[in-house]
């Protein structure tokens, strides 16, 4: 529950600090005194949108801080999930700077606004007179039935299954569209694959073929040149090798007496060995080079095939063509495999649809039971609030398709008069009737959801007398099990509080400031008497105030 609220530099507020009781807290004040400002500041802790306009003139930032007692509310998992430090007395803070940017903190650790909103929504619910429009919102009606039916876990399971179902349906649609598109590409891919496969390309083949083509095209000239080289080196008597051998022999004869000759003879011998090796290699090549028209024709045709494929596919090498063939084969396998994936998705969708429908049926049953409870409670509560012959029906119908919250379409039918048919509540109920219906709804939801704190913002507008007293009784009954903060204009309601705060404007300084004080017993009598009789407080009004407080 909310133990303490601190506000600095918000709108007309300089600095305020309120310490609330754990039962019924009343806030009163003149119209325009700043009660809505107080609620707006509290709204920042609930994650409401804010900008620089909320900062008090002349100040650089505003700060709103709330201290919550959260023992026994099972919030340990929330703190663990969001990597936050748990504390039984948790402090939530929101800071708005002059640029309009805001920062949020839980126990001094920075958090996103969404995490702040999720956390505080587990602790506080604000209900104002303007929320009567919510009853026209189908999501609100479903939410009410789910809270009364304690459907939180069931609904979470349904939404998880529904989310997976929608994901699978989306993937199936994409897969089928891709298949239809790919079907047109399959024939083209198969042709390219066949053409490249027939070519039987090998890495490095192009360079080898280009080299061989040069040899085959110049075979006669190459063989003639090699013959000249071989004859020059290896002729029996006049060849270069024979001449070198003679030189070596002559120098060896004088090598023993003339070291220079021995050195030269060794070098000549090395040249002889090298040239003899060259002569052998030339001889081998001479016999391997032949002018073969058939081979030349094959090489030219093979090269033409590779060049044509390179040009067609706009690549520079046979390695790229081989890679392209692999890519085409992969794409074709994807197309061929899409049928299997589509089959898998259809089976998954069928399974998830059965599962989601089963959970939706459980939700429908629970919501139907909650609707009966809701109808009886609201009719009874409205009878006490001055609408004695009301009819309140929670009308549940099933949609043909699964929806994000189940398969239910929930309408509320209402009649405030005896023997008149119930019709859609937002079409037939007056503003005062809607206010009382929403109060009854909120009181039942508050009991069911077991929230620590509920805040009522002038929900008693437009009523008086005995009805006002009944509203006070409902609010008081709620405060027996939870903390209630009630902003009111009615003395019948204000008198029932355990703690009474008074909001007023102070014009004594340079600027107008909103202030709030905690009233003692004497001040409460005066304030309630003023609410009864107006600015001129009579003794009769004081007596009535004392009577209300004793009651």
* pLDDT tens sequence across 28-74: 988 777 888 888 888 899 888 888 888 888 788 999 999 999 998 88
Backbone angles phi, psi at 157, to 5 degrees: -65, -40
Question: Beta-strand (E) ranges in 61-218?
Answer: 61-69, 89-97, 102-106, 109-111, 124-128
Please give, one letter per residue, the 3-state secondary structure of 358-411: HHHHHHHHHHHHHHHHHHHHHHHHHHHCCCCCCEEEEEEEEEEEEECCEEEEEE
What average pLDDT score do residues 115-141 get?
Answer: 82
Write out the two tokens for 168.
């699978």
Contact 12, 54 (CB under 8 A): no
d(CA 438, CA 453): 17
pLDDT of residue 130: 62
Contact 382, 390 (CB under 8 A): yes
What average pLDDT score do residues 461-465 get?
Answer: 69
* 215 vs 291: which has the higher pLDDT: 215
d(CA 168, CA 346): 8
pLDDT of residue 175: 80
* pLDDT tens sequence across 222-265: 888 888 888 888 766 778 888 888 888 889 888 888 889 999 99
Beta bridge pairs of residue 403:
406
d(CA 465, CA 502): 22
Write out the two tokens for 368.
């139907």
Name the average pLDDT for the chain. Answer: 87
* pLDDT tens sequence across 498-529: 999 999 988 887 888 889 999 999 999 999 99
* 74 vs 357: which has the higher pLDDT: 357
Q: Which CATH architecture has domain 1-123+451-519?
A: 3-Layer(aba) Sandwich (3.40)
d(CA 321, CA 164): 42
* pLDDT tens sequence across 401-436: 999 999 999 999 999 988 889 999 988 888 778 888
Write out the two tokens for 71.
């023992």
Domain range annotation of the chain: 1-123+451-519, 180-336
* pLDDT tens sequence across 8-35: 999 888 899 999 999 999 999 887 778 8
d(CA 286, CA 277): 14
d(CA 264, CA 329): 67
> Residue 211: pLDDT above 90?
no
Please give, one letter per residue, the 3-state secondary structure of 455-482: EEECCCCCCCHHHHHHHHHHHHHHHCCC
- pTM for the model stands at 0.65
Residue of 111, 1, 5, 119 lying closest to 66 (CA atoms)? 5
pLDDT of residue 235: 66
Q: Residue 184 — very low, low, confident or very high, per pLDDT cuts 50/70/90?
A: low
Write out the two tokens for 531.
């609410």
* pLDDT tens sequence across 358-416: 999 999 999 999 999 999 999 998 888 888 889 999 999 999 899 999 999 999 999 99
Lowest mean pLDDT among 141-145, 509-513, 523-527, 542-546: 509-513
pLDDT of residue 159: 94
Sheet holding 24-29, edge to edge: 124-128, 453-457, 483-487, 24-29, 499-506, 513-518
pLDDT of residue 485: 92
Contact 7, 40 (CB under 8 A): no
* pLDDT tens sequence across 253-310: 888 888 899 999 999 999 989 988 988 888 888 777 777 888 888 888 888 988 899 9
> Residue 338: pLDDT above 90?
no
> Residue 183: pLDDT above 70?
no
Share of the chain above pLDDT 70, in %: 96
Q: Which residues contact 72 (CB under 8 A, 6 or more apart)?
A: none
Q: Which residues contact 393 (CB under 8 A, 6 or more apart)?
A: 375, 412, 413, 414, 422
């Amino acid at each position: 529950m909310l133990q303490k609220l601190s506000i600095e530099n918000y709108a007309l507020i300089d600095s305020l600090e309120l310490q609330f009781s754990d039962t019924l807290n009343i806030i009163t004040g003149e119209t325009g005194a700043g009660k809505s400002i107080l609620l707006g500041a509290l709204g920042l802790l609930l994650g409401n949108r804010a900008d620089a306009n909320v900062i008090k003139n002349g100040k650089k930032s505003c700060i709103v801080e709330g201290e919550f007692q959260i023992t026994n509310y099972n919030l340990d998992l929330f703190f663990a999930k969001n990597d936050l430090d748990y504390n039984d007395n948790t402090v939530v803070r929101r800071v708005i700077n002059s640029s309009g940017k805001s920062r949020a903190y839980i126990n001094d650790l920075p958090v996103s606004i969404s995490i702040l909103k999720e956390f505080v929504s587990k602790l506080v619910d604000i209900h104002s007179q303007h929320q009567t429009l919510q009853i026209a919102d189908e999501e609100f009606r479903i939410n009410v039935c789910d809270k009364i039916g304690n459907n939180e876990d069931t609904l979470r399971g349904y939404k998880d299954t529904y989310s997976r179902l929608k994901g699978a349906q989306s993937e199936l649609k994409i897969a089928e569209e891709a298949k239809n598109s790919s079907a047109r590409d399959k024939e083209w891919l198969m042709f390219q694959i066949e053409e490249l496969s027939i070519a039987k390309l090998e890495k490095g083949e192009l360079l080898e073929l280009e080299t061989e083509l040069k040899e085959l095209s110049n075979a006669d000239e190459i063989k003639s040149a090699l013959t000249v080289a071989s004859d020059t080196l290896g002729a029996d008597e006049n060849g270069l090798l024979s001449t070198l051998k003679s030189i070596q022999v002559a120098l060896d004869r004088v090598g023993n007496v003339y070291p220079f000759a021995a050195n030269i003879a060794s070098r000549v011998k090395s040249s002889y060995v090298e040239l003899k090796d060259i002569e052998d290699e030339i001889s081998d090549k001479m016999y391997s080079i032949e002018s073969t028209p058939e081979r030349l024709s094959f090489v030219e045709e093979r090269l033409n095939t590779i060049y044509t494929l390179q040009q067609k596919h706009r690549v520079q090498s046979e390695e790229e063509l081989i890679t392209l063939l692999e890519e085409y084969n992969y794409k074709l396998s994807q197309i061929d495999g899409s049928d299997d994936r589509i089959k898998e998705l259809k089976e998954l969708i069928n399974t998830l649809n059965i599962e989601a429908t089963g959970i939706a049926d459980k939700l429908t049953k629970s919501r139907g039971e909650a609707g009966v409870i809701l109808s009886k409670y609201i009719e009874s509560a409205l009878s006490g609030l001055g609408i004695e012959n009301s009819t309140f029906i929670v009308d549940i119908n099933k949609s043909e398709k699964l929806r994000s919250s189940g398969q239910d379409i929930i309408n509320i039918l209402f009649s405030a008069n005896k023997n008149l048919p119930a019709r859609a509540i937002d079409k037939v109920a007056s503003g005062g009737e809607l206010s009382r219906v929403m109060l009854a709804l909120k009181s039942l939801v508050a009991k069911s959801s077991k929230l620590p704190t509920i805040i009522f913002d002038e929900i008693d507008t437009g009523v008086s007398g005995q009805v006002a007293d009944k509203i006070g009784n409902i609010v008081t009954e709620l405060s027996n099990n939870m903390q209630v903060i009630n902003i009111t204009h009615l003395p019948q309601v204000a008198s029932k509080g355990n703690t009474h705060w008074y909001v007023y404007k102070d014009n004594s300084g340079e600027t107008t400031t909103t202030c709030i004080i905690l009233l003692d017993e004497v001040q409460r009598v005066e304030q309630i008497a003023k609410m009864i009789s107006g600015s001129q407080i009579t003794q009769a009004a004081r007596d009535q105030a004392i009577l209300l407080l004793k009651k």
